[in-house]
Chains A and B, each alone.
Chain A
């Protein structure tokens, strides 16, 4: 059910591996925009050390409760801790970087 898209460029070590979950509801334009934006940011800043999991709540509604999802799309940074949430279509790159706590150096 879960659309797991492993970024299979190179294996990453556990310490600096980023686990990201993108919650959407169906293939809406906004969901696609969010995914595209996320992918771009990750490629730019977390090359090789990230993993994106896209969860479609229309398929898996129960998962919404576990991660306390309200707004869609929501990006959840599961790892590294602590959990961070970014809502929206991620078009504001600046805020995504702040939200994910990604230092520009990386």
Chain B
């Protein structure tokens, strides 16, 4: 049995070391990223090692990974996440070592500036030309220096044509009390406030406090009409008819339509949101060669078509569209005029979050 003095001494030691460690750590800034991947990406010779992919769930073809493994002999480990922020949190904290991640386009400039992404070596991407120019020229991706466009989608309104009297034409439908208790909006501050902003004819990327406060008030007014805030899981309820009208992503709608053809999708008159996700290589990626091989693999029309068919999203790969059973064409000019691309909010993120908290608490 330890004597009192011994115990105190040991406790003091423990405490001191804890304190010092935390102080020391406190002084250290964000850990600087490790030196860039070893082997040059365009080196010759067979691929080796492991490829670690971190992607959205349900965002890959059922056979894609297996095919890649067979053709290249590289072993793939595949993990998924549900939101950009979960992925960013892991990248920022410096733990996970992934070779490929899938950020939504608006995050790419922020991540690149934060030094978290490695530049993409286009010399190895022989199929790059398959990509639709629209997605490459977009500001967010800056010519594809740090990210490769992957799939796109929109946010609009999905509804049951058999259970709703008149098809909705405006984001204001959420204020319609006759549908009270049978509507949902997404559980995402940007989507909800964004929809309210668009309803009033404003930009969904607004950082103006007055506009945002008005949007918050709208959201609070609309809230009692909502059954719940649901994102992807609302699919099942739309199919069963518990919910008749929902703010939904195009890919989820498409998947719901497979089971219930009476689900209809519409982009309101005031506009909708366009977003696209990209594949990127983190700066700390251990196997950049394999990462690039995978990027090139995904650029193949047949592979891209497979992926798009199963995810329900739109392919950014022009050559793939022809190969799809149910082709998804990029938005035409008329539709594009009504769609707005989501952008990062920068310092205004804080204000948005506070307003969203107020909506939820209200």
A and B associate? no
* Chain A interface residues (CB < 8 Å from chain B): none
* Chain B interface residues (CB < 8 Å from chain A): none
